[in-house]
Amino acid sequence: MAQVVAKRYARALFNIAKENDAFEKYVEELKNLGKILHYKEVYRIVANRSISIKQKMDLIDALIGNRFDANVVNFIKLVISKHRESILDEIIYEFIAMCKEYYGIVDVELVSVHELNDAVIEKIKNNLELNLGKKVNIHCKLDPSIIGGLKIIIGNRVIDGSVKGRLNNLMKYLEEAM
């Protein structure tokens, strides 16, 4: 349920950003807001139902009022006034995902045992962009448990070229053969 509501709010902000051609600005401001909200004291105030909406609005004005676009500030105030501050992180996530979708950008997680050099990452990125027909943002992650090779994660799709993945497949094959 929360994800559906978060998507609705994110879609509303997305439409405002589209009207104002302000996707990049809004994404940057929302990322900064996410960082601000993760300060324990700020989050405790924003998430506390016993603190009035007026006090929360005053806090938002003090923290971001002049520094953020008026549409973003008003959007955050709307979310708070509707008591949806508990899903603000999810709204931000959904908004950023919608912007990436709009611009044809896909996030890819590249898992390896050792750090990959820039030339290898660039080659993988170019290959993925060619195959996916989208711009690719690569995020590298180290995981010694895969033993060797690579694992590429694109959304909910996994391309497992790791030694661990191959060993698991071999084990399944042998179990089925017996």
pTM of the model: 0.80
The beta-strand segments (E) located in the chain are 105-112, 135-142, 149-154, 157-162
Per DSSP bridges, beta strands 105-112 and 135-142 are parallel
pLDDT per residue over 86-136, tens digit each?
899 999 999 999 999 999 999 999 999 999 999 999 999 999 999 999 999
Domains and CATH numbers, the chain: 2-101 (1.10.520.20), 105-177 (3.40.30)
